[in-house]
Copies of this chain bind each other. A is one copy, B any other.
Amino acid sequence: MNRPEPDPALRATTRTRIQSRNREIIVQAALEVFSTYGFRGTTLDQIAAKAGMSKPNLLYYFPRKEGIYVAVLEETLTEWLEPLTRLDEAGDPVDEIRKYIVLKLELSRRNPAASRLFANEILHGAPSIGGFLTGPLRALVDEKSAIISRWIAEGRLAPVDPRHLIITIWAVTQHYADFDVQVRAVLGSEAEPIPDAEATILSIFLNGLRPR
């Protein structure tokens, strides 16, 4: 009755130190669990245990399981987009593509959990982030595709469909995070796969894209 703000998750403007700290702890714990078991495969008890708190306390910060999931996804998406935003029209085309591939591979190595979380969401039809795909993501791809098209028109890059080029780069870079188990099984060595992957991918793509 005299509880004017029953939901701390809604008060983004006024957060206590404890709230910011615990929300961060929860999101980190949830990222690990969700990325391993998926949304349906994850239980609140697992997240609570990993975050070191009781389940009701978890629900004090995020009243619904889906709220935790969306919070984790949102934090992940910004990081995911960032490398593409850096693609610079003023740079050398082949070198810009090289930098983009290197950045995306580094992200796959540094934060494979985020990549897997994202992959899982898309694989199941993007129920929680469909709007992100058709909104900000598509807009960014449109913008960067235009740059690539101009490079091609100037004869500074081999003629390919710029959107499929971007999609293809996503595919080869994220694959090393999402399918890590398979990659390691097939390679059979203890060595980190990504350095060799980088050499191979750069060789194929940069030779394949160099104007002739």
Contacts and interface: CB of A to CB of B under 8 A. Distances in A.
Contacts of A21: none
Interface string A191-212: 0010011011101111111001
Given A161-B196, A171-B171, A36 B124 contact: yes
Interface string A116-139: 100110111110001001100110
A143 to B, nearest CB: 12
A170 interface: yes
B199 A124 contact: no
A157 to B, nearest CB: 11
A187 B172 contact: no
A33 to B, nearest CB: 12
Contacts of A172: 168, 171-172
A88 to B, nearest CB: 21
Q: Range of interface residues on chain A?
A: 35 or more
A41 interface: yes
A181 interface: yes
A171 to B, nearest CB: 4
Contacts of A186: 133, 137-138, 141, 163, 166-167
B125 A181 contact: yes
A168 B124 contact: no
Contacts of A158: 203-204, 207
Given A170-B175, A186-B163, A212 B201 contact: no
Nearest to A187: B163
A203 B160 contact: yes
Contacts of A17: none
Contact of A178 (B36, B123, B166): B123
Interface of A: 36-41, 116, 119-120, 122-126, 130, 133-134, 137-138, 141, 158-161, 163-168, 170-172, 174-175, 178-179, 181-183, 185-188, 193, 196-197, 199-201, 203-209, 212
The 6 closest A-B pairs by CB, nearest first: A208-B208, A171-B175, A133-B185, A204-B208, A164-B200, A40-B41
